């Protein structure tokens, strides 16, 4: 794709940044070194108190693609995204986080895939990484729109930092500031509810997602869990009575500590998946979300999850499943230790 005669870029890349000096250079360079070059790069410095702004300004001198929005006060991710959208000129909008890394052909591959599959929102598989190389793992998400519609009843299934949007999406929906820390999940559900747009994930890893103990998902885990339940119930109600009854029953069972209640969730998902003719990978993802949402983890519950998914996950992603299994064993050990103090 070539730049239009009006000098309007095909793509606007928007990246909020708050105190990201440690990894910011790698993230910026991974965007600037893309094989697809017809883009502007909007970076919102959200009141950083470290050297983030200095680093951004250094790269702005090197590349005329970079547009800087600088704020003295930290207002958060949602406000940063909405502010960037107001100045974005591209036909498409790409998300990026200030500590992640794009693979060199990310934009090229995603835009081509969106055109081929007639998608308005496109995420990708991601590889999660941190300093510990042994914890590196790849997350594969549901690919087809038809699966994503129902998988969203359980959890978000489009990795936010990997997404490219058709700009027209934001003529109908936008990030909801009442759902800070779960704004992406709410957005996917709102997009589906409009019945105007198609969502999908390209089945390739196009983003390295950096895992950190300082991330919002770690610090605000309980708040995210509560917001997630609220989003799921509201979304299900908009889809239909069958979906609402399913989610309501599952949500009530999730707070249990009984293995038999988790089995009930497995059976509900299997039955629903069969009725809706969902792919095996979609059912597996729903069951994986059910396991992650369940209040307690132990080897018995993990084994029930594996049986319920017919071991699809173990065959598809042994390393990821091994980590889940290890966490279930550790969780059991912690529970037993706590009981010992009573």
Looking at residue 320, its pLDDT comes to 61
Phi and psi torsions of 66, nearest 5°: -85, 125
Provide the angle, in degrees to the nearest 10, between the axes of the packed helices 280-293 and 241-254: 40
Q: For the range 232-236, what are the long-range contacts, defined as Cβ-Cβ under 8 Å and sequence gap of 24 or more?
A: 232/152, 232/153, 232/154, 234/189, 235/152, 235/153, 235/189, 235/192, 235/193, 236/153
What does the alpha-carbon distance between residue 92 and residue 84 come to, in Å, rounded to a whole number?
A: 13
Parallel, antiparallel, or unpaired: how do β-strands 101-102 and 199-210 relate? antiparallel
Contact 111, 120 (CB under 8 A): no
What does the alpha-carbon distance between residue 123 and residue 94 come to, in Å, rounded to a whole number?
A: 10
What are the residue ranges spanned by the domains of the chain? 11-218, 240-341
What is the separation, in whole angstroms, between the first and last Cα of the chain?
A: 66
Q: Which CATH class is domain 11-218?
A: alpha beta
Looking at residue 322, its pLDDT comes to 63
Contact 236, 247 (CB under 8 A): yes
Q: Which residues pair with 17 in a beta bridge?
A: 45
Looking at residue 64, its pLDDT comes to 96
* Token code pair at residue 150: 């129902």
Beta strands in the chain (DSSP E): 11-17, 39-46, 66-71, 92-95, 101-102, 121-129, 137-139, 164-166, 199-210
Parallel, antiparallel, or unpaired: how do β-strands 66-71 and 137-139 relate? unpaired
Nearest to 181 by CA among 222, 152, 141: 222
Contact 187, 175 (CB under 8 A): yes
The continuous run of DSSP H or E covering 320 comes out as helix 318-341
Q: Which residues pair with 279 in a beta bridge?
A: none
What does the alpha-carbon distance between residue 2 and residue 10 come to, in Å, rounded to a whole number?
A: 8
**Could you list the mean pLDDT of each consecutive 10-residue stretch along the chain, which spans 342 residues?**
62 98 97 98 98 98 97 96 98 97 98 98 95 76 97 97 98 96 96 98 97 61 89 98 98 92 94 93 91 87 79 55 65 41 32
DSSP conformation letters of 160-174 = GGG-EEEGGGGGT--
- pTM of the entire structure? 0.89
Q: Which residues pair with 16 in a beta bridge?
A: 44
Looking at residue 300, its pLDDT comes to 82
């Amino acid at each position: 794709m070539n730049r239009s005669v009006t000098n309007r870029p095909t793509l606007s890349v928007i990246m909020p940044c708050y105190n990201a000096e440690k990894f910011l250079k790698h993230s910026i360079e991974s965007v600037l070194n893309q094989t697809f070059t017809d883009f502007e790069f909007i970076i919102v410095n959200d009141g950083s108190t470290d050297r983030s702004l200095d680093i951004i300004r250094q790269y702005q001198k090197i590349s005329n693609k970079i547009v800087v929005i600088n704020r003295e006060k930290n207002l958060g991710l949602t406000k940063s995204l909405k502010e960037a959208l107001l100045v974005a000129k591209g036909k498409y909008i790409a998300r990026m986080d200030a500590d992640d890394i794009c693979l060199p052909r990310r934009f090229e591959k995603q835009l081509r895939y969106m055109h081929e599959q007639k998608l308005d929102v496109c995420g990708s598989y991601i590889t999660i990484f941190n300093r510990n190389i042994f914890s590196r793992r790849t997350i594969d998400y549901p690919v087809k729109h038809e699966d994503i519609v129902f998988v969203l009843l359980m959890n978000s299934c489009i990795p936010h930092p990997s997404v490219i949007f058709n700009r027209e999406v934001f003529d109908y929906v936008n990030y909801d500031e009442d759902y800070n820390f779960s704004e992406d999940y709410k957005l996917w559900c709102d997009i589906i509810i409009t019945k105007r747009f198609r969502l999908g994930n390209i089945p390739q890893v196009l983003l390295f997602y950096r895992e950190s103990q300082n991330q919002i998902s770690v610090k605000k885990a309980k708040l995210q869990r509560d917001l997630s339940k609220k989003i799921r119930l509201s979304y299900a109600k908009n889809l239909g009575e069958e979906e609402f009854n399913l989610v309501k029953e599952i949500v009530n069972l999730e707070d249990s500590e009984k293995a038999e209640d988790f089995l009930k969730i497995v059976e509900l998902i299997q039955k629903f998946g069969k009725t809706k003719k969902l792919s095996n990978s979609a059912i597996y993802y729903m069951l994986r979300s059910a396991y992650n949402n369940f209040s307690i983890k132990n080897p018995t519950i993990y084994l029930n999850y594996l049986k319920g998914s017919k071991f699809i996950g173990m065959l598809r992603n042994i390393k990821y499943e091994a980590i889940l299994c290890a966490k279930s064993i550790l969780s059991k050990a912690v529970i037993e230790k706590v009981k010992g103090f009573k």
